[in-house]
Structure 1
Amino acid sequence: MAPSKRKATAPPQTSRINGDPKTDKKRKTTTDAPLPTNPNASLDPLKTPHPFYKDSETHGIVLRKFYPSEMSNARAQAYNNNELPRPIETLYAALAETAALRKSLPVRQAVVHWFKMDLRLHDNRSLWLASQKAQEAGVPLICLYVLSPEDLEAHLRAPIRVDFMLRTLEILKRDLEALGIPLWIETYEVDELRREARLVKIFAEGDEKMVAEVVHDTCVVMPGALKSGSGGQYAVYSPWYRAWIKHVEENPDCLEIYEKPLPNPPSTKSKYAHLFTCPIPPAPENKNLPDNDETKARYRALWPAGEHEALKRLHKFCDENIGKYAERRDIPSVEGGTSKLSVHFASGTLSARTAIRAARDRNNTKRLNGGNEGIQRWISEVAWREFYRHVLVGWPYVCMNKPFKPLYSNITWSYNPTHFHAWTSGQTGYPIIDAAMRQVLSTGFMPNRLRMIVASFLAKDLLIDWRMGERYFMEHLIDGDFASNNGGWGFAASVGVDPQPYFRVFNPLLQSEKFDEGGEYIRRWVEELRDLEGGKLGGKGGWIHDPYGREGRK
């Protein structure tokens, strides 16, 4: 969720479900109150769980099957103080330690490209480099994808997103085979950055003496390349974006587009025939779509998979709608108001480089921050995704169920199951909230403006732990991306970067009136309100926004 520059008006400081005052609950926001004693506390404060760790485990926020208990604030602060190495630093150290050895090792029988969240041939830097190395050495290029059922569960992948990924792999496999390149799919467990560091060292120093190269490609500008005036990572978007623009303009190679890999030698298909027959596995049982052909057909019609569809959608949006993006992006009833490319960014079927180049090239100034306002704004929104990835690298504990400011772990949240169920099922009685939540259940998607509204409502009206909403989104969105999702929830709940807890509240009634004035979006998703008129609150037609009269009309 990328935040908006518009101001949000604060509602009353109590929350209601369907106007029932009995459910009102005050939020405890004191962060300096005495914390409960943890009987399991270690003498080492960096190994002691946070005093509220049981809440996060009881309510499914920290999955103890995969992760340790919620860390203490002291441990989170140790990352900020550079007392603990960040995962990216561990990886860089492993690369530096083995640099000379890796450079000295020759290419032997093949070069392997490991696909992760880069499921495309076009503008895939790592794949292109692997192809070039294979061509230079006169050996085949082999591609690998690792499917980890436990990883899908630990990272809360939505079934609709897993389905999209498997459909994309089918297309990727077909496109690679046309180039004589096999795609081998292996199933086992993975552990990301720390795993990468181990593999680099094991491959270079082990008996087999293999070279593992790690290629930066997810972001246009590599995390860590932009430094604030104090020499650290930016924690506020606006100055980060100015630095990002400056860096890209001074380093035009940041937007260099990479060609797809070159074909393998003809002998590859006979020599590695068994690799070409590797099937795409089915989704793990707990990540299957509902056993309903109509639902599956609807999802697949809404979200065609693969990089060809990504490029088609990108160019259609840039040709027809990007010029009006600034004025239409927040109106959920407008078809084509947004690009709906987030699913392709999240799955890696489209690179940010390609998207930004396509937008910039349609600008009469050929600049990232000049000319057409819609183009400028859309590029800025794509950059938000990158900003949140930079934040993850600089403050890795936000990947570990901690807020950006560790002190905000001490907020006492509600975990009311009735309220949470009303929110997830679209039964709160606030039409704009219910419409958005029902859209997610039906399509796996929600417009950005609505994501901010429903997140603010959960955290600041219902007072429910924002991390429950963060998890729910990841488990239901087809474009669920940890960095963007975590950053958006941190923004809406005022516990993330650049928090402004005292006035960043999205009043669902005024937001509804402003961005769905005629009620078209609400009527589309809230069937029981389709006969109500739309219009201004307090007026004859305003009932579509406030059918229960919370504005105090008689």
Structure 2
Amino acid sequence: MGPKSAAPASTAAKRKASVSSSSAAGGDAKKSKVTTADKLHAPHSLHKIAEEHGVVLRKYYPHEMSNARAEAYIDDEIPKPFDEMVAALEETAKDMRGVKPGGAVVHWFKTDLRTNDNRALAMAADKAANAGVPLICLYIISPEDWEAHLRAPVRVDLILRTLKVLQDDLAKLNIPLWIETVDKRKNVRSTVHTFMESWNANHLFANMEYEVDELRRETALVRECASKGKSMTVIHDTCVVPPGRLTSSSSGRPYAVYTPWFKTWKQHIHDNEDLVDLVDTPAKQADDLKAKVSKLFGCAIPESPKNKQLTKDEKTRFAKLWPAGEHEAVRRLQQFCDDRINGYSRNRDFPAQDATSSLSPYLACGAISARTMIQTAFDRTGAKALDRGTDGFKVWVSEVAWRDFYRHVLAGWPYVCMNKPFKAVYSNIEWSYNKEHFTAWCEGRTGYPIVDAAMRQLREQGWMHNRCRMIVASFLAKDLLIDWRMGEKFFMENLVDGDFSSNNGGWGFSASVGVDPQPYFRIFNPTRQSERFDPDGVYIRHYVPELAKVFEEGASAIHEPYAKEAAKARKAGYPEPLVPHKDAREKALAAYKKGLGK
């Protein structure tokens, strides 16, 4: 189901054509050197300097678009990829209903690496069982996609280990998982077609992803399958409430602010309880069906691509920190609900406490569904509704909902996938690209202990506490005035839970350029954040050992050592602050005002 406010793809295309033709043929075109069409196709005026610093991967993507082009997406003058997918599914639905089963049914795994509560997998299993043919599964490794999408080596490692668990689980059900590496991303579609043809499969099932590249690729696949007399069914699975379902009653358009969206999200689930119903793991296939596809069993799990490899020590460390698979995800969820969820609202912001669920890496690779998380929390806490339960339960549900919200944003404002901030006017801010400052931030050498502790945690664990993500993001964008997209990119390249929509949404919030942003003049003071959320310095002492050697637990000087105990900090080899916060704040305010024309 598409957004109620969005024009059909055909209508949007007509609008786009009318804008272009009137700009070229109208009398006003002679008076202006820049037509509307020019504005839509020209890059943003500041694109060159950002590209020089790697913000846009020109190997795969065009220049940063103009603000006018971003606005054209909002106004439906350019069709949104999500709407094009919806249109493709609707327009091919009649033909797909008549497709015969063929010799097998295929489920294409992507970011849904689990057997339980996997809607497309369950539908594929039902289709195969009813037709009396084997269900076979496919996973495609696309190194170019992993490079283009900035997959962190630690996340790639978790994906590969999770594939092994998934393969073993499926094998117990007599269902094979075939893993294919496709060197060129442009060949992914043809690889899917070839796999289907090899096994005389006429039905392909997959869960929908909402990023632009994936939507465009699978929209093309839907139409190609239809043209070949085959069927591709794409299912809403990753969100509890599918994008397009929730629109503002006043404007009829998708929500751009979280609070009213969340209120509507909860009510929609209460009115449609089937949205959180769980689907079962597929039944075991008969031995004779297994025999028909025996060649697909035992497929080797490949090593990470060369540009995504970990050292031996890193592989050992991350495997211990992040055991793979849906069974581990369920274990963590149950333990969290039993031990920590009731105190979640009180303790979640304190990084030294083990107060969070640590499920984000498993959500990112699809080893567990958001529905399973909500249903388990209901069962374990005895809550009767999403807004009735302990404070911890309610706050945790709201955090799960943020993940849905950011995916809804991808569907409604696709240019956020294209190196543009949600509010395009913020593209006009003249950011700094100070390499020394950026490197110091990446390595945890800023002279602000809470920032440095967080960045070192990221390097050590492939993960960072959420409160600290906000602190370090605000520091990069507002204290150092460095292009927030460089930080967004660095996070994706290093996070085990690097999920595009959540990462982009978090950076947009912290840099005040995104959906529902804090006003740009609200700037985190890193020292005050440290004093408030790590009052005894436990977190800092753990990740900044040079300070732990000279400051005892509870020493207030650990939060700003050069202001209170400079000699000790210097002797310990801890760096001085890169910038004084007060001066940096004023500089940031001036830069934001200038960029916004205030």
TM-score (norm 1): 0.89
Which residue, 323, 331, 335 being the options, matches 1:304?
323
**Which residue identity lines up with residue 560 of structure 2 in the other structure?**
D
Aligned residue number for residue 315 of structure 1:
334
Cα distance, 1:226–1:552 mapped onto 2, change above 3 Å: farther
CA deviation profile, 1:187-246 (whole Å, cap 9, x unmatched): 22244111111111111112xx21100111010000010001211111111100000000
Between 1 and 2, higher relative CO (CA 8 Å, sep ≥ 6) is seen in: 1
1:194-205 to 2 correspondence within 5 Å?
Answer: 194-205=216-227
Deviates more, 1:524-533 or 1:214-223: 524-533
1:83-482 to 2 correspondence within 5 Å?
Answer: 83-188=77-182, 189=185, 190=188, 191-206=213-228, 209-229=229-249, 230-290=251-311, 292=312, 294-335=313-354, 337-482=355-500
CA deviation profile, 1:374-433 (whole Å, cap 9, x unmatched): 011111101111101101111000000000011111110000000001100000010000
Residue 379 of structure 1 aligns to a residue whose secondary structure is helix
CA distance, structure 2, for counterparts of residue 237 and residue 524 of structure 1: 35
Aligned residue number for residue 58 of structure 1:
52
**Which residue identity lines up with residue 129 of structure 1 in the other structure?**
M
Residue 476 of structure 1 aligns to a residue whose secondary structure is coil
CA distance, structure 2, for counterparts of residue 252 and residue 258 of structure 1: 13
For residue 366 of structure 1, report the CA deviation from its aligned partner: 1.7
1:67-82 to 2 correspondence within 5 Å?
Answer: 67-82=61-76
CA distance, structure 1, for counterparts of residue 291 and residue 375 of structure 2: 39
For residue 363 of structure 1, report the CA deviation from its aligned partner: 3.2
CA deviation profile, 1:443-491 (whole Å, cap 9, x unmatched): 1010000000000000000000000000000000000000000000000
CA distance, structure 2, for counterparts of residue 106 and residue 303 of structure 1: 43
CA deviation profile, 1:488-537 (whole Å, cap 9, x unmatched): 000000000122334431110000000000000000000110031354xx
CA deviation profile, 1:159-202 (whole Å, cap 9, x unmatched): 00000000000011111111110101122224411111111111
For residue 45 of structure 1, report the CA deviation from its aligned partner: 1.6
8 Å CA contact 2:50–2:56 kept in 1: the answer is yes
CA deviation profile, 1:247-272 (whole Å, cap 9, x unmatched): 00000000000100112221233221
Aligned residue number for residue 547 of structure 1:
561
Aligned residues: 505
CA distance, structure 2, for counterparts of residue 428 and residue 40 of structure 1: 44
1:22-37 to 2 correspondence within 5 Å?
Answer: none
8 Å CA contact 1:517–1:534 kept in 2: the answer is no
8 Å CA contact 1:204–1:211 kept in 2: the answer is yes
**Which residue identity lines up with residue 301 of structure 2 in the other structure?**
I
8 Å CA contact 1:492–1:504 kept in 2: the answer is no
CA distance, structure 1, for counterparts of residue 293 and residue 518 of structure 2: 57
CA distance, structure 2, for counterparts of residue 185 and residue 324 of structure 1: 42
CA deviation profile, 1:336-375 (whole Å, cap 9, x unmatched): x101000011110010000011112233442111120001
CA distance, structure 2, for counterparts of residue 281 and residue 436 of structure 1: 32
For residue 136 of structure 1, report the CA deviation from its aligned partner: 0.7
For residue 295 of structure 1, report the CA deviation from its aligned partner: 2.5
**Which residue identity lines up with residue 261 of structure 2 in the other structure?**
W
Cα distance, 1:458–1:550 mapped onto 2, change above 3 Å: farther
CA distance, structure 2, for counterparts of residue 283 and residue 42 of structure 1: 46
Going by fraction, where is helix more abundant, 1 or 2?
2
Aligned residue number for residue 589 of structure 2:
none
Pair 1:516-2:534 in alignment = yes
Identity %: 58
CA distance, structure 2, for counterparts of residue 429 and residue 88 of structure 1: 44
CA distance, structure 2, for counterparts of residue 551 and residue 506 of structure 1: 23
CA distance, structure 2, for counterparts of residue 44 and residue 261 of structure 1: 53
Residue 113 of structure 1 aligns to a residue whose secondary structure is strand
**Which residue identity lines up with residue 48 of structure 2 in the other structure?**
K
CA distance, structure 1, for counterparts of residue 451 and residue 553 of structure 2: 16
8 Å CA contact 1:533–1:543 kept in 2: the answer is no
8 Å CA contact 2:557–2:564 kept in 1: the answer is no
Residue 95 of structure 2 aligns to a residue whose secondary structure is helix
8 Å CA contact 2:114–2:366 kept in 1: the answer is yes
For residue 434 of structure 1, report the CA deviation from its aligned partner: 0.3
CA distance, structure 1, for counterparts of residue 401 and residue 36 of structure 2: 41
8 Å CA contact 1:269–1:276 kept in 2: the answer is no
**Which residue identity lines up with residue 232 of structure 1 in the other structure?**
R
8 Å CA contact 2:134–2:290 kept in 1: the answer is no
Residue 125 of structure 2 aligns to a residue whose secondary structure is helix
**Which residue identity lines up with residue 57 of structure 2 in the other structure?**
L
CA deviation profile, 1:30-50 (whole Å, cap 9, x unmatched): xxxxxxxxx999962211111
CA distance, structure 2, for counterparts of residue 145 and residue 260 of structure 1: 18
CA distance, structure 2, for counterparts of residue 287 and residue 310 of structure 1: 24
8 Å CA contact 1:519–1:534 kept in 2: the answer is yes
CA distance, structure 1, for counterparts of residue 160 and residue 93 of structure 2: 35
CA distance, structure 2, for counterparts of residue 365 and residue 70 of structure 1: 46
**Which residue identity lines up with residue 105 of structure 1 in the other structure?**
V
CA distance, structure 1, for counterparts of residue 565 and residue 542 of structure 2: 23
Aligned residue number for residue 24 of structure 1:
none
Aligned residue number for residue 7 of structure 1:
none
8 Å CA contact 1:41–1:48 kept in 2: the answer is no
8 Å CA contact 2:350–2:533 kept in 1: the answer is yes
CA distance, structure 1, for counterparts of residue 488 and residue 461 of structure 2: 18
Which residue, 519, 524, 527 being the options, matches 1:501?
519
TM-score (norm 2): 0.82
CA distance, structure 2, for counterparts of residue 90 and residue 424 of structure 1: 39
CA distance, structure 2, for counterparts of residue 159 and residue 259 of structure 1: 32
